[in-house]
Structure 1
Amino acid sequence: MTFVEAPVPETKDNALPRFIAQHRRLFVLTGAGCSTDSGIPDYRDADGGWKRSQPVTYQAFMGEELTRKRYWARSLVGWRRFGKALPNPTHHALARLEQLGKLELLLTQNVDGLHQQAGNNKVVDLHGRLDTVRCMRCEQRSPRHALQQALLELNPQWMALDARDAPDGDADLDGHDFSTFTVPPCPHCGGILKPDVVFFGENVPRDRITTAMQALEAADAMLVVGSSLMVFSGYRFAHAAAKAGKPIAAVNLGRTRADPLLSLKVDRSCSDALAFV
């Protein structure tokens, strides 16, 4: 698509194309709404509230063996579909914006890696990636699919289970007894294995924040796609953009925490709103 800089009458349908056309370097922040069309559920409703119980915290995961058993049992079932998710039109639209030279950086709160699959290269995974497993003792990283095989070998009775998908590779398995589920230790040092993502109660690595803030400083404007920004780790960038006087547009179904800061709000699905790209 060719972005036309000439003035055009403002309408509901051309507001977002006009915003993108007017700003040469966009800082894009994406959230769960980008991936719902790929079959990955989101966390929040139109008012920004939780649709389900809050995700496991870092403190509970690290401190309670039963919590880790429950997490990995649910992940074993959920990963079968999450690990096969493919980019949808929203991901492809944002990849085209990068190809057109419009992106300073794409900062994603998602952990699915679908932006990279779609062709984006200038990406910072703010909350990490679910397709990688980290040992909390020796810091070794390993692919998630290898752990999936180990979990299946140790827990063959769970292979036949199926459940409704939950956000970020989780599955609803309430009512099951997780006490007998076996979670393998790190094969290198025997430490605790954790998905290489930032849990609630865990700090985002400082280098990711620094890289993103530098890109925001270099950008002309900020575009939020599919995020309510209810979590401070994402909201801080909208706050910084507003403080620096940079215009902010948001595409999101429902309220965002940054609504008072926005120059433009598009209350439509991400794929619909970005279909013009």
Structure 2
Amino acid sequence: MRVSVPSIPNAILSSPSSAAKTTPAEAIERVAAFLAPGNVTTITGAGVSVDSGIRAYRGAKGRYLNPNYKPIFYHELMDPTPKGFAYRDTGERAAMVGAYRSVSYLASLYRLRSYLGYLPVRQALPNPTHFALAAMQYKGVIPHLITQNVDGLHHKALANVWDQSTLEDRILELHGTLHKVHCSHGHAVHRDTFQDWLSAANPQWKAFADNLEATGRKPRTNPDGDVVLEGVKYDDFVVPECPTCLEEGRHNRTQKPELIFFGESIRPEVRARSYANIDACDRLFLVGTTLATFSAFRLLRHALELRKPVLMLNVGPTRADGLEGLEKIEVPSGLVLRDVVRAVLCVYPILASEDPVVVDMLRSGVVKPPPEDDSEVDA
């Protein structure tokens, strides 16, 4: 099976930006004017979470623009063959590793890397961009938000004002979430529970993780919770069996986070809902995304086919650069969106300054971007 990592075409990467030079003040005015009429569906990408300490997939130092970086693919993680099953259950790793790039070996490697990488994502907090978008969601300017991110930070920004049902209705996680895990038979648990299972089955790796945290050593973490793991032997990592499957009389160690892996298809109901959100809006706003994955890029194309106004706020090249009908502003979202909210909500009956929820949101948000000098360790 041949599966490639979605990327930005080289022709775009090597071309100068077509976006007009824009000052922050000009960007605030233009974005506010675009959003003010309301009924705007918004699509966000990994760039939105950078200020929360989570690296982007692409852009400067993004792992997925490194041609030597090899992520785990869906068929590698969920290998259903007898060979893969026997390997997972017997732990005969060494011989297989020496012979070839074992599918099940990579699956175990990913689960270890994800075990170590989940903690930084779980501890991450929303930044000003999350809260600015949350304020506009709360006030109805953005009825629907589609995110490619799996970190749950959009949910955290609204957790104090919306219940879980409303969050799930207003925020569509296009690529799933890191905060849930399910086995190959569909038995789901919260990620914290799964982490506890892994800790109990791997006390040596629990001690390793505790030492990283105690010493302040932070492994370089990708947006999907996968960490860089080099120079470490992980042959002894154990993936526990699904307890519910055991109760049903079967052995099953094949468990994965509820996120979409490369080579895996988005669920039909999620795809249908994403198109419905585009159909229902009057305008489309794109923030912090390169649109390298077709799941998001085709939503943009759908909006353009419907002749809906589209505005992108993103720094750096994107797959959409040069498309007719797309307006792009190259200014960091964290630099302008708070002021955009103040400008937009002033045209509504209740001024932003009079709504304590909005006031609190505009005062909230961490700004802790990943280090620029690659000072994070290779765990």
User: How far does residue 46 in structure 1 lie from its aligned partner after superposition?
Assistant: 5.5
User: How far does residue 68 in structure 1 lie from its aligned partner after superposition?
Assistant: 1.6
Gaps in structure 2 of 5+ consecutive residues = 1-24, 80-102, 213-218, 246-250, 342-379
1:14 and 2:29 matched:
yes
TM-score by length of 1: 0.90
SS in 2 for 1:42: coil
- 2:27 and 2:331 map into 1 onto residues whose CA distance is 11
User: How far does residue 260 in structure 1 lie from its aligned partner after superposition?
Assistant: 2.4
Greater gyration radius: 2
Structure 2 counterpart of 1:269, one-letter code: P
SS in 2 for 1:29: strand
User: How far does residue 12 in structure 1 lie from its aligned partner after superposition?
Assistant: 4.1
RMSD across aligned positions (CA): 1.9
Q: Give aligned-pair identity as a percent.
A: 36
- 1:144 and 1:175 map into 2 onto residues whose CA distance is 27
The one-character-per-residue Cα deviations of 1:38-91 (angstroms, maximum 9, x if unpaired) are 111111015998244243110111122211211111112111211111111111
- 2:255 and 2:294 map into 1 onto residues whose CA distance is 26
Give 1 or 2: higher helix fraction. 2
**Higher RCO (CA 8 Å, separation ≥ 6 residues):** 2
Please tell me whether the aligned partners of residues 134 and 193 of structure 1 are also in contact (alpha carbons under 8 angstroms).
Answer: yes
Q: What corresponds to 2:173 in structure 1?
A: 125
Q: What corresponds to 1:58 in structure 2?
A: 74
TM-score by length of 2: 0.67
Gaps in structure 1 of 5+ consecutive residues = 1-9
- 1:18 and 1:86 map into 2 onto residues whose CA distance is 29
Please tell me whether the aligned partners of residues 150 and 223 of structure 2 are also in contact (alpha carbons under 8 angstroms).
Answer: no
1:154 to 196, 201, 225: 201
The one-character-per-residue Cα deviations of 1:193-216 (angstroms, maximum 9, x if unpaired) are 111111010000111111121121
Q: What corresponds to 1:102 in structure 2?
A: 141
Q: What corresponds to 1:166 in structure 2?
A: 222
1:175 and 2:231 matched:
yes
- 2:175 and 2:222 map into 1 onto residues whose CA distance is 17
- 1:92 and 1:41 map into 2 onto residues whose CA distance is 19
- 2:63 and 2:204 map into 1 onto residues whose CA distance is 36
Structure 2 counterpart of 1:264, one-letter code: E
- 1:109 and 1:244 map into 2 onto residues whose CA distance is 22
Please tell me whether the aligned partners of residues 248 and 264 of structure 1 are also in contact (alpha carbons under 8 angstroms).
Answer: yes
Please tell me whether the aligned partners of residues 149 and 223 of structure 2 are also in contact (alpha carbons under 8 angstroms).
Answer: no
User: Stretches of 4+ moved more than 4 A in 1?
Assistant: 46-49
Please tell me whether the aligned partners of residues 104 and 218 of structure 1 are also in contact (alpha carbons under 8 angstroms).
Answer: no
- 1:105 and 1:244 map into 2 onto residues whose CA distance is 18
Please tell me whether the aligned partners of residues 34 and 91 of structure 1 are also in contact (alpha carbons under 8 angstroms).
Answer: yes
Q: What corresponds to 1:43 in structure 2?
A: 57
Q: What corresponds to 1:213 in structure 2?
A: 275
Matches within 5 A, 1:259-270: 259-261=321-323, 262-270=325-333
Tell me the matched-pair count: 266
Give 1 or 2: higher strand fraction. 1
